[in-house]
């Protein structure tokens, strides 16, 4: 177990705490927990790269931790009417599509390397910033256009990266099928 993997596990363990705080509408405390979780997201990747502690487990755990944290946040912020339903549907559908796609490819024994694209990393960053802005709104009164801009950016990046992963998955599928035909 590497240090980055332990940090990722902390993010996973913070998710139920965040859910509990959001269900109780304790936005200030939820903001603090989400901030710490967001910092761990950057910290685990930084340590893994700088200290050469990348691992196969980390390649699976890190995106799983992101999905748990962000999907939970978006669903609950939508439930609290702090995010528009359409944005919740876009972000959750994108993540569900990615998970279903990876599982489908694995089920059909198509090799899948878990390496988030730059577009996916930017999507995660914009989603994190959006959640933080929504949670911080009662305390820092961000300008409406900043929050609206983040919501629009989250939608655009989520759709773009979702389409990117669909294309990537179809390419993997085609390569595996064409490889099977060549071997037959």
Write down the pLDDT at residue 163: 97
Which residues are CB-neighbours of 126 under 8 A, at least 6 positions away?
150, 153, 154, 157
Q: What is the pLDDT of residues 30-85, one digit of tens each?
A: 999 999 999 998 899 899 999 999 998 998 899 999 999 999 999 999 999 999 99
Place of tokens 């910290």: 43
Spatial separation of the C-alpha atoms in residues 64 and 152, rounded to whole Å:
24
* pLDDT at 184 exceeding the cut of 60: no
Region of poorest pLDDT, from 21-30, 100-109, 137-146, 154-163: 137-146
Domains of the chain (ranges; CATH) run: 3-183 (1.20.120.1760)
**To the nearest whole number, what is the mean pLDDT of the chain?**
93
Average pLDDT over residues 101-109: 95
The pair of structure tokens assigned to 140 is 């820092």
Spatial separation of the C-alpha atoms in residues 141 and 144, rounded to whole Å:
8
Write down the pLDDT at residue 96: 96
Q: What is the pLDDT of residues 114-134, one digit of tens each?
A: 788 999 999 999 999 999 999
Give the helix ranges, DSSP H, for the chain. 3-23, 27-50, 56-79, 85-107, 118-140, 144-183
């Amino acid at each position: 177990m590497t240090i980055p993997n332990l940090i990722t596990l902390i993010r996973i363990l913070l998710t139920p705490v965040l859910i509990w705080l959001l269900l109780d509408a304790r936005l200030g405390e939820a903001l603090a927990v989400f901030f710490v979780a967001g910092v761990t997201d950057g910290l685990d990747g930084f340590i893994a790269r700088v200290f050469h502690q990348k691992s196969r487990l980390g390649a699976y755990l890190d995106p799983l931790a992101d999905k748990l944290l962000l999907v939970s946040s978006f669903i609950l912020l939508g439930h609290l009417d702090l995010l528009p339903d359409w944005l919740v549907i876009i972000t959750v559908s994108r993540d569900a599509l990615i998970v279903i796609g990876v599982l489908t490819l694995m089920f059909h024994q198509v090799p899948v390397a878990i390496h988030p694209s730059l577009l996916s990393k930017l999507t995660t960053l914009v989603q994190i910033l959006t959640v933080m802005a929504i949670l911080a709104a009662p305390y820092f009164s961000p300008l409406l256009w900043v929050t609206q801009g983040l919501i629009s950016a989250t939608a655009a990046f989520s759709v773009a990266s979702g389409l990117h992963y669909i294309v990537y998955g179809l390419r993997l599928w085609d390569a595996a099928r064409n490889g099977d035909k060549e071997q037959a």
